Amino acid sequence: MKEHFDDHYVKMAQRDGYRSRACYKLLEIQEKDRLIKPGMSVVDLGSAPGGWSQVAAMLVGHHGQILASDILEMDTIAGVEFIQGDFTEESVFNELMAFLGNQKADLVISDMAPNMSGMRDVDQPQSMYLCELALDMASSVLRPGGGFVTKIFQGEGFDQYMRLLREQFSKVVTRKPAASRPRSREVYLVATGLRG
């Protein structure tokens, strides 16, 4: 807990009015990759407490739309439609699709992670499973040429997942934002140009 409250990014988030330190990860990815543009339609998976939705809403502006989903509750954010539930369940998935209507999303972002047990043999497969679910969702809702960002932990399954992304997107890069704790195995994969 002490590490968390002493954390430079936690203090910055409190000062800047952001919901979480994770905001700075997306802001840094945005600075490098310029993924989010005004007027875009963005789907945020595993959105609570809402840091990424907050940043995305700011970047897409009034003409864009953010659709956020999480199994946990999330406080309202202006310009963000939130659907609580597990997006792999048919009823929640249908609700998400109904909100999008006939429109496809420009970008899917996922900062999902399992509840970490500290046992790599348990955590890694669970994390990879969430990455696979996020990619399935991205494949369902993205327009051709769309983009996808996911948090992933380096370890078993990482290379196969990279291959899968490279088959589906024209460009895939790995990012390790400064706001990621140095000892963490988390990185972010930024995939652009979904093949039609």
What pLDDT is recorded for position 4?
54
Residue 129 has pLDDT above 60, yes or no: yes
What pLDDT is recorded for position 2?
55
The response to whether 52 counts as a known ligand-binding position is yes
In which band, very low, low, confident or very high, does the pLDDT at 196 lie, cut at 50, 70 and 90? confident
What pLDDT is recorded for position 5?
52
Of the residues 32, 151, 171, 176, only one is catalytic, namely 151
- Is residue 176 annotated as part of the catalytic site, yes or no? no
Mean pLDDT of the chain: 93
What pLDDT is recorded for position 91?
96
The response to whether 159 counts as a known ligand-binding position is no
Q: Indicate the domain borders of the chain.
A: 2-194
Q: What is the pLDDT of residues 130-170, one digit of tens each?
A: 999 999 999 999 999 999 999 999 999 999 999 999 999 99
What pLDDT is recorded for position 3?
52
**Beta strands in the chain, from DSSP E residues, in sequence order:** 41-45, 65-70, 80-84, 105-110, 142-153, 169-175, 186-194
What pLDDT is recorded for position 1?
55
Q: What is the pLDDT of residues 104-117, one digit of tens each?
A: 999 999 999 988 88
Pick the CATH number of 2-194 from 3.40.50.150, 3.20.20.80, 3.40.50.1400, 1.10.599.10: 3.40.50.150
CB neighbour list of residue 168: distance below 8 Å, 6 or more residues apart? 135, 139, 191, 194, 195
Neighbours of 163 (CB within 10 A): 11
The response to whether 136 counts as a known ligand-binding position is no
The response to whether 50 counts as a known ligand-binding position is yes
Residue 92 has pLDDT above 70, yes or no: yes
What residue type is 49 in one-letter code?
P
Order of strands across the sheet that contains 142-153: 80-84, 65-70, 41-45, 105-110, 142-153, 186-194, 169-175
The response to whether 70 counts as a known ligand-binding position is yes
